[in-house]
Amino acid sequence: MLDWIKNINKEHPEFWKTYLSKFNAKSKRFIVLSTETTGLNPEKDVILSIGAFAVVNDSIIIGDSFESVLLQYKFFHDNALSNEFIVESKIKKLGEPDAIQSFIDFIGNAVLVGHHVDSDVEMINNALERLDCGRLKNEALDIEVMYQKLIDTTDKQFSLEELRAIFKLPLSDRNSSSEEAYTTALLFLKLKSRLGIK
């Protein structure tokens, strides 16, 4: 059955209605995001953490950022759940419903940017489905696709580390979704400028 048929007369949560109401105007805000997940299968895996920074007028706005560790249970190969939490961190932990709602409130109608952003979006969409919401409506830009356009090739894929090296960005000793989002934001600004994206 088509998704839109399932959603006829469906009562969505209030935060989702507020989110949908923001798409009457075009945003000048970009949200650069990164997720850490239990795997790459959006049907079986879950988000462990989300990091994101706003980019406005060619600047990364540090004060306009989002960081959350999601309280998730371990997924074993047989898909059984354990009551042992998978993450330890000093960052505030939220259950998946609260984290996803806070993230949706944060992004609004901004253009989403990421490295392999479609994977991030699909993981978020599956979390939204568990909350009886629809799918994200935001436009999305992928920095790998932007770089491929810049060098006029689609024959090679580029990891975030390769792009970081190509643009001579410093390595960080912190490995987190927020650190990856910040690196991606720096790459986005360089690519945005070279491609003439407003």
The pLDDT tens digits for 31-72 are: 999 999 988 888 889 999 999 999 999 999 999 999 999 987
Residue 20 tokens, joined: 């949908």
- For the chain, give me the number of helices (H) and strands (E)? 7, 8
Q: How confident is residue 9, by pLDDT bands cut at 50, 70 and 90?
A: low
pTM as predicted: 0.86
Give the pairing type, strands 140-142 and 81-85: unpaired
Give the pairing type, strands 47-56 and 29-37: antiparallel
d(CA 35, CA 2): 28
Mean pLDDT confidence for 108-124: 97
Provide the percentage of residues in the chain whose pLDDT is more than 90. 69
d(CA 150, CA 55): 20
Residue 184 tokens, joined: 């991606």
What CATH number belongs to 22-195?
3.30.420.10
Looking at every residue in the chain, the average pLDDT score rounds to 87
